[in-house]
């Protein structure tokens, strides 16, 4: 087990006093002082920096053991055919990133494809055609990899952390529809090697603090291929795939968080994966079914404290699931849907939960009722989350930005705002030195501001 920074009672009074004004679920706790850490044998060493995170029970904490709350949003496009953030065809990268930080988004989940990672790995990054260089003169001549690097720099400037998500095998706007992590010429081994390459490239950059192994593995009982979850080493077993990918990622950077999503269906008691009858399975949103963890947990040994489970959840405007039929409310959702599929992991203290996608249109009706219920659950339990999404061009959900990529949907942002980490009227970032919003920010603070350095 690698060394951790131990708690110190001397700092407890200061940290507790600072936390008295905390709004949200992160309660007062002792701060810490660093233990001696051996000098790296080679340079640059993996995990260089001060902002790496790990888990303790169902919490995510910093290197001093101080609890943190990851609250952010998704910004897609690198996963699509454009191979770069959507919106850069009209808006400025720095401006959008700064606005996200000023409004309390402390982490951005960035969907990407295995295909694009392999292009980067093989030196085949191209200059994207979807970047307006009049609006983004600083991106003139930059490849897709150059734009991503520029984003990491801007994110660091404004105190935002980043998570990478392999959203699809191929660079395809609809690539997430494919149920598994291999497709066409892209093999499972290439999927692993792509993760190894990108982890190695950024292993010293603590702006990139988390890796979401694969977006929404899914498939029903009669689909082929489809993702399952069991104790086997079969190609379609996502539990084994996530475990394998995590071990290969953590062998390179043992300080990065690894997110493991769920699947779509799971056999009921007395049934198994050989059944082709829908009645033999519990159904759920793509990526949202983590029932299998109870019997087959992802096991990372000494690095178990880097694992976070990451379900997705949506409302009736995305799909009229059975639990939205008839009378329903937060009580029935928690009892019949969230508890058995993923919330039990938080309640049992098994691991932290990070809801990687949730969001939708405000309809002043059932969808908004669902959004409010899940938002309240997130706030009351301190569940980590990234809202779907910044982009206005998500057909099922809409976004936080309007189609001009400049105007914010203030009503939707008002619904999200209570689920963004705040203390004393300020948004809290995940960087120890840089305030959320930048060094001169008036709306955000850093972890050192909160916990007393």
Q: Residue 127, SS3?
A: coil
Question: What separation in angstroms does the CA of 215 have from each of 27, 38, 181, 242, 285?
Answer: 31, 36, 9, 11, 12
**Tokens 């606005």 belong to residue:** 99
The answer to whether the beta carbons of residues 435 and 444 sit under 8 Å apart is yes
Tell me the sheet residues that pair with 309: 260, 353
The answer to whether the beta carbons of residues 82 and 130 sit under 8 Å apart is yes
Radius of gyration of the chain (CA): 21
| Rounded-to-integer distance, Cα 224 and Cα 42, Å | 46
**Tokens 């029935």 belong to residue:** 332
| Rounded-to-integer distance, Cα 315 and Cα 335, Å | 16
- Give me the active site residues, please: 216, 357
The answer to whether the beta carbons of residues 127 and 396 sit under 8 Å apart is no
| Rounded-to-integer distance, Cα 224 and Cα 32, Å | 50
Structure tokens at 106: 């402390």
């Amino acid at each position: 087990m690698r060394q951790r920074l131990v708690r110190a009672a001397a700092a407890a009074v200061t940290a507790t006093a600072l936390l008295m004004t905390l709004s949200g679920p992160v309660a007062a706790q002792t701060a810490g002082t660093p233990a001696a850490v051996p000098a790296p044998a080679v340079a640059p060493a993996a995990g260089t920096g001060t902002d790496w995170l790990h888990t303790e029970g169902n919490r995510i904490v910093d290197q001093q053991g101080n609890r943190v709350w990851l609250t952010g949003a998704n910004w897609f496009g690198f996963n699509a055919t454009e191979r770069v953030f959507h919106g850069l065809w009209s808006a400025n990268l720095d401006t959008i990133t700064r606005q996200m930080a000023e409004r309390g988004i402390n982490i951005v989940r960035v969907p990407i494809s295995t295909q694009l990672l392999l292009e980067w790995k093989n030196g085949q990054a191209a200059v994207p055609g979807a970047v307006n260089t009049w609006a983004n003169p600083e991106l003139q001549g930059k490849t897709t990899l150059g734009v991503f690097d520029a984003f990491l720099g801007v994110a660091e400037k404004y105190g935002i952390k980043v998570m990478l998500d392999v959203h699809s095998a191929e660079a395809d706007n609809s690539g997430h529809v494919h149920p598994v992590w291999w497709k066409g010429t892209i093999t499972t081994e290439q999927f692993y090697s792509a993760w190894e390459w990108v982890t190695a490239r950024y292993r010293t950059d603590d702006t990139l603090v988390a890796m979401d192994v694969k977006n929404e593995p899914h498939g029903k009982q009669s689909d082929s291929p489809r993702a399952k979850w069991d104790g086997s080493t079969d190609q379609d077993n996502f539990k084994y795939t996530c475990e394998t990918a995590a071990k290969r990622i953590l062998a390179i950077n043992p300080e990065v968080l690894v997110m493991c999503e769920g699947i779509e269906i799971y056999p009921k008691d007395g049934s198994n994966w050989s059944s082709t009858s829908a009645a033999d399975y519990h159904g759920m949103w793509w990526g949202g079914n983590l029932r299998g963890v109870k019997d087959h947990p992802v096991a990372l040994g000494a690095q178990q404290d880097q694992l976070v489970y990451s379900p997705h959840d949506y409302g009736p405007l995305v799909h009229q699931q059975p639990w939205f039929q008839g009378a329903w409310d937060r009580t029935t959702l928690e009892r019949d849907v969230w508890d058995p599929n993923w919330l039990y992991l938080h309640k049992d203290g098994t691991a932290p939960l990070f809801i990687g996608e949730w969001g939708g249109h405000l309809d002043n009706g059932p969808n908004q009722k669902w959004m409010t219920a899940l938002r309240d659950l997130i706030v009351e339990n301190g569940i980590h989350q990234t809202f779907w999404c910044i982009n206005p061009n998500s057909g099922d959900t809409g976004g936080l930005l309007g189609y001009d990529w400049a105007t914010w949907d203030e009503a939707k942002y008002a619904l999200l705002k209570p689920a963004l980490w705040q203390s004393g009227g300020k948004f809290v970032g995940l960087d120890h030195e840089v305030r959320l919003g930048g060094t001169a920010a008036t709306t955000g603070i850093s972890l050192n501001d909160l916990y007393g350095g």
